[in-house]
Amino acid sequence: MKHVAVLMGGISGEREVSLSSGAQVVAALQRAGMQVTPIDVTDDLPALIAALTPRPDVVFNALHGRWGEDGAIQGVLEWLNVPYTHSGVRASAMAMDKSVARAVFAQAGLPVAAGRLVTPAELAEADPLPLPYVVKPINEGSSIGVEILFGGDNRRQEIASRWHYGPLVLVEEFIPGRELTVGVLGDRALAVTEITASHAFYDYESKYQEGGSRHLLPAPIPPTAAALACELALKAHQALGLSGASRTDFRYDDTAGEPGRLVILETNAQPGLTPLSLLPEQAAYCGIDFAALCAWMVEHAACRE
């Protein structure tokens, strides 16, 4: 019987999301007939190493956010020489850093929004891009810290004054239209989902509160656009050197009619696995139930760096 340790919780702003993902994964792997040890990860690294001794056959990384999907915990697992799910150190770090991922996508010829890095002081002083534009932390997930500034919005200085996500701010042009996402498993793009949020955009509450969003699967877009979204998601996965599962989010600007314009927002190297998450929903649409999805991730676990 394969022994799998499931890491969950963590110390990022996505701790509660990770605990939800982890609980789902533990139950699924137990249904798949595996011996499962759940580990609530805190800031006590020696305690984590002790919990992984003796080493399990595989670590299922259900952590989200900083220190969980940015290469940090992956480095610890490499040092312990234990196979783990999802992507390796370098790929995880690149995917988590939105400015680096943008550069990788652009180098690969993939479509990204116009944008730049500024300091909070520069943001406070003047609009860094023509309105409307989006303000993002470089290395947070689940839309934490994301703001959209439209014409007439006077929140720019307030946002800059309370910025606590690091020394730099990523600003990008706002792309009108619809929100799409595509999950990838290995070398296969799963499907295209359109997300309609109850808030102004697909923010943290929309993602994790019951009724916060609607998922239209398959997305009601032209077949050519859906095929291109799948192609771009797979290319983004490959450009970053990701392993296992990922999910790429897009804006689809069809405001001027069809065919619309697809723009990559970001690629998530460790998609959520909560009851409201998109990757399991797409997998189920493709005939892969949640237990089989988690078992697939375990079977494709490895040491990579």
Based on the fold, state whether residues 156 and 186 are members of the same structural domain: no
Based on the fold, state whether residues 168 and 224 are members of the same structural domain: no
Res. 302 pLDDT band, cuts 50 70 90: confident
* 213 has pLDDT over 90: no
Res. 276 pLDDT band, cuts 50 70 90: confident
The answer to whether residue 39 is domain-embedded is yes
**CATH classification at residue 40:** 3.40.50.20
DSSP state of 56: P
Alpha helix segments (H runs only) across 184-264: 204-208, 223-239
Based on the fold, state whether residues 216 and 277 are members of the same structural domain: yes
Is 50 exposed, middle or buried (CB count within 10 Å of its CB: 0-12, 13-18, 19+)? Answer: exposed
The pLDDT tens digits of the residues spanning 85-98 come to: 999 999 999 999 99
Kindly state the average pLDDT of the residues 180-205.
82
pLDDT for 170 equals 95
Structure tokens at 243: 């392993």
The pLDDT tens digits of the residues spanning 34-73 come to: 999 999 999 999 999 999 999 999 999 999 988 999 999 9
Query: CA angle 14-104-76, nearest 5°?
Result: 45
Based on the fold, state whether residues 79 and 133 are members of the same structural domain: no
pLDDT for 204 equals 44
Which of the residues are catalytic?
A: 14, 142, 208, 247, 249, 266, 268, 272
Kind and range of the H or E run holding 199: none
The average confidence (pLDDT) of the chain is: 91
Domain final residue pick, 86, 103, 132: 86
The answer to whether residue 222 is domain-embedded is yes
Structural domain boundaries, residue 146 = 115-173
pLDDT for 270 equals 93
CB 116 within 8 A of CB 129: yes
Based on the fold, state whether residues 182 and 100 are members of the same structural domain: yes
The answer to whether residue 50 is domain-embedded is yes
The answer to whether residue 54 is domain-embedded is yes
Res. 263 pLDDT band, cuts 50 70 90: very high
Based on the fold, state whether residues 9 and 148 are members of the same structural domain: no
Based on the fold, state whether residues 106 and 214 are members of the same structural domain: yes
**CATH classification at residue 141:** 3.30.1490.20
Based on the fold, state whether residues 188 and 284 are members of the same structural domain: yes
Q: Measure the CA–CA gap between 77 and 14, rounded to whole angstroms.
A: 20
CA atoms within 13 A on the CB side of 128: 25
Nearest to 70 by CA among 267, 245, 303, 269: 269
The answer to whether residue 155 is domain-embedded is yes
Residue 273 Cα distances to 202, 234, 245, 266, angstroms: 17, 20, 11, 18
CB 194 within 8 A of CB 216: yes
The answer to whether residue 16 is domain-embedded is yes
Q: Measure the CA–CA gap between 233 and 237, rounded to whole angstroms.
A: 6
The span from the first CA to the last CA of the chain, in angstroms, equals: 27
Res. 152 pLDDT band, cuts 50 70 90: confident
The answer to whether residue 296 is domain-embedded is no
The answer to whether residue 42 is domain-embedded is yes
Kindly state the average pLDDT of the residues 262-290.
94
Structural domain count, the chain: 3
Based on the fold, state whether residues 158 and 45 are members of the same structural domain: no
Going across the sheet that includes 133-136, the strands are 115-118, 169-173, 133-136, 147-149
Most confident of the following: 103-112, 133-142, 213-222: 103-112
CB 197 within 8 A of CB 212: yes
Kind and range of the H or E run holding 197: strand 188-197
Res. 203 pLDDT band, cuts 50 70 90: very low
pLDDT for 210 equals 59
pLDDT for 200 equals 57
Domain final residue pick, 173, 190, 219: 173
Domain final residue pick, 134, 150, 173: 173
pLDDT for 154 equals 83
Based on the fold, state whether residues 220 and 102 are members of the same structural domain: yes
Based on the fold, state whether residues 182 and 164 are members of the same structural domain: no
Other beta carbons within 10 angstroms of residue 218's beta carbon come to 13
CB 67 within 8 A of CB 9: no
The pLDDT tens digits of the residues spanning 155-171 come to: 999 999 999 998 999 99
* 304 has pLDDT over 70: no
* 205 has pLDDT over 60: no
pLDDT for 255 equals 84
Based on the fold, state whether residues 210 and 224 are members of the same structural domain: yes
Q: Measure the CA–CA gap between 199 and 185, rounded to whole angstroms.
A: 29
